[in-house]
Chains A and B, each alone.
Chain A
Amino acid sequence: MYISIQDLCFSYPDTNRAAVDHFSLTIGKGEVVSILGKSGSGKSTILRLLAGLEKPSKGSLCIQENVVFDDKVFLAPEKRGIGMVFQDYALFPHMTVQDNIKFGLSHLKKEEKKKRIQEVLELVELEDYGNRYPHQLSGGQQQRVAIARAIAPNPHLILLDEPFSNLDAELQVKIRKELRDILKKANITSIFVTHDENDAFALADWIIKLKDGRIDAMGRPCDLLGASRPSEIRQQEPELVGV
């Protein structure tokens, strides 16, 4: 498999509950995986562990058979080749759109940089916005810049944390479709987390349902639609409220 996550465990310091509990997952190249779960179920934590922003207490991540972390190896985030789109985008406010994208391209030559910036801006349909600052863009545009910035260095894997939560409802539907197109066009392997079933069902090749840091169910959207929707989810809900 292209990406293989084995037995990932983690709890935050000074807490006694596991935020991520024996989480395993394999992903094929170019697939879009969605992790679906209620707030506090550990979605963001999983992404932060994969990115190297937190150190897991146990588990491993291999990309193309190469170890990114296990009990001996721990690559720093900047060495992993994993891109991330943050919930509030984290676009550097003191840099233009172009410079934001260029930031991750320091290994390229000047000409190549220019070309790559142009490529990804075209991909997200923001060719004319290169010289703007983040605060001069709408929420949807900012999000697309964040995606372009994450994609530009050609990461093995891109992580998206609740990509739609900061957009208004109308925009959400439109961008959902756009995002899938962008990811597929770039043939990029991605994991995105969401608390909204509709996002997951519309976008993902695979859906992982997460509950209390553990995998609760997993499958293709169509499978899960038949098996667990609507009855299973409805039954779970009252139980989840108290968690």
Chain B
Amino acid sequence: MLRVKRNKGFLVEELGCWTVQRKLSNVNAWTVSAVIIMALLFLPNLTIVSGIFSPSNDNWAHMKEFVLGSFIKTSLILIGATGFLTIAIGLSLAWLIAQYQFPLRNFLKWALVLPLSIPPFIGAYTYHGIFNYTGVIQTTLRDGFGKDLNPAYFDIMNIPGAVFIYTLFLYPYVYSITRIFLSQQSASLIESARMLGKGPVNIFFQVVIPISRVAIIGGSSLVVLEVLNDYGVVKYYGIQTFTTGIFQSWFGLGDIETSIKLAASLMGFVIFILMAEKLLRGRRQYNYSTTKVRPLPLIRLKGWKAFMATGYGLLILSLGFLIPVVQLIDWTILTFGTIPTEEFLIYVKNSVTVAGISATVIIIFALIVGNFSRLVHGKAAKLLPKLTILGYSIPGAVIAVAVVTAFIGLDGFLAPLYRLLGVDHTLVLSVSLAMLISAYIIRFFAIGYNSIESGYDKIGTDFRDASRLLGVGLTKTFFRIDVPMLKGAIVSGFILVFIDVLKEIPLTLILRPFNFDTLSTKAFQYASDEKIMEASQASLVIVGISALAIVVFYKFLEKEPE
């Protein structure tokens, strides 16, 4: 054994091989926990893959022959039309805001993100309520103008109606990503085009669209993934797609195998989208460069042009946010008190509990995996977390199937233990809240991880290294240096996950324990039972919290460039 005599300041320490082991075990503790977490996040999805190879039954044979084709066709129409319209609206708004000055521009800049706070299924039933026979439009026409038009004109419960809803409430993905991207582009790009004598229309098509391709594709693939994930809108509007098919074969036919096969097909679809995105995006990644570029000087619009710009922005904002919110407030006032307050508070409590637990666990997991990723050199350590992030592109219904299958398997595995403990059920975990929360964690891990990872990137490794060289070990450094410095990333990651869980529908419907209701399941159920007005109160709480978070975020985001 070797001995090192330290200077007076340092403890005299015995050195030897055990110190090597200590160091290894220190890194290992982080590696082991990170690997376990990543496996937990990833493995349940493998049950879907295994489902592809399991023998098929009659239901599946029937589905494959008669409905699978129409699922694919409907999905293609929905994502194609929604993709196109969200790009048209999102990009045009982003360009207006990035390039021009007009009345209310500074307000619209962030307000145009607000439609994201309305989950599409809430938008869907709200617009149905506005357009239907007893809704405000038809009643006004009848009572005010004596016009009794054919109600079929106002029917939005069809594919075009769903596209309308998706577009209104999902375009902010394209808008915000493209706007941030454009605002980071150097002014000289646009200015040189202007100098070459190009007009605004030419610049838009020949310069703006090509340079923002990466951002447009990034934003619209989020839109497409949301559409494929959606269950609430299609169910409510009676449109048959993969997600409704998964539900039907599960609950209607009690046929989990067919659900798994449908889920696998949907996953195939998603993988196709992800590959198309990669291909279209090319080798370039988003480049939120921090180097200072001279921002685009705004061109002041005057007269009718300014009027049109403001009008366009306000129109989209009204359709995507103001009108539905006013309608929800109106209904809430009309029905206030019909839902007993105690009951309502239970839904609020349930929502906040599951969202809070999920967000907390996700942030802790993300901190561990993120720390692992920067501790360990090599490609594998960088690649593995990326794999877990895929969870976000997997539709909720697919994750639900995967998690149930895994939990039922787990219960089977633990059955002897249950008997030993004197529990007289065979299903314990798979009827508990643990299953729902696990599913949320798998689905939304990527949201929290992105936030934490960018936080780690921002602080770099020097502070950690400095701390270690001052004699403080890895784990202590994590708590005393990393966590305090990551505070902003932790808060923002937590909020993002929290509101996503709050709005979630398919996972919650499938996986919640018996008699467990959240704000979103309650809103969905009331709406499905044609109690649109009663659904508004719960919806309004969801929208209010989400909108608040978006406003807070706007402040965070706008501060960052300083």
Contacts and interface: CB of A to CB of B under 8 A. Distances in A.
Interface residues on A, range: 35 or more
B466 A94 contact: no
B19 interface: yes
Given A84-B466, A86-B462, A93-B485, A76 B8 contact: no
Interface string A74-99: 11111111111010101011100000
A94 B2 contact: no
Interface in A154-172: 154-156
Contacts of B485: 92-94
A66 B1 CA distance: 11
Contacts of B23: 74-76, 79
B195 interface: no
Contact of A67 (B2, B11, B474): B2
B463 A77 contact: no
Contact of B13 (A73, A79, A84, A152): A79
Interface residues of B, number: 38
B463 A156 contact: no
Given A67-B2, A94-B485, A78 B473 contact: yes
B11 to A, nearest CB: 6
Nearest to A108: B9
A72 B466 CA distance: 25
Contacts, number: 117
B469 interface: yes
Nearest to A91: B466
A142 to B, nearest CB: 13
Contact of B15 (A53, A75, A78): A75
A64 interface: yes
A187 to B, nearest CB: 10
Contact of B469 (A13, A78, A92, A116): A78
A106 interface: yes
A149 B5 CA distance: 22
Contacts of B379: 14
Nearest to A79: B19
B3 interface: yes
Contact of B481 (A80, A86, A92): A92
Given A78-B473, A79-B19, A88-B462, A153 B13 contact: no
Contacts of A193: none
Contact of A84 (B2, B16, B463, B469): B469
Contacts of A208: none
A90 B19 contact: no
Contacts of B3: 66
Contacts of B462: 86, 88, 90
Q: Most chain-A CB neighbours within 10 Å: which of B8, B469, B471, B484?
A: B469
Contacts of B26: 76
Q: Kindly name the residue among B8, B467, B471 whose own CB sees the greatest number of chain A CB atoms within 10 A.
A: B471
A51 interface: yes
Interface string B465-507: 1111111111000001100110000000000000000000000
Q: Which 9 A-B pairs have CB atoms at the shortest separation, nearest pair first?
A: A154-B9, A104-B470, A66-B4, A90-B466, A90-B462, A76-B23, A77-B468, A154-B7, A78-B468
Interface of A: 13-14, 51-53, 63-64, 66-67, 72-84, 86, 88, 90, 92-94, 103-108, 116, 149-150, 152-156
Given A51-B469, A84-B466, A153-B470, 12 more contacts: A51-B465, A73-B17, A75-B19, A78-B471, A78-B472, A78-B473, A78-B474, A81-B6, A86-B466, A90-B463, A92-B467, A155-B7
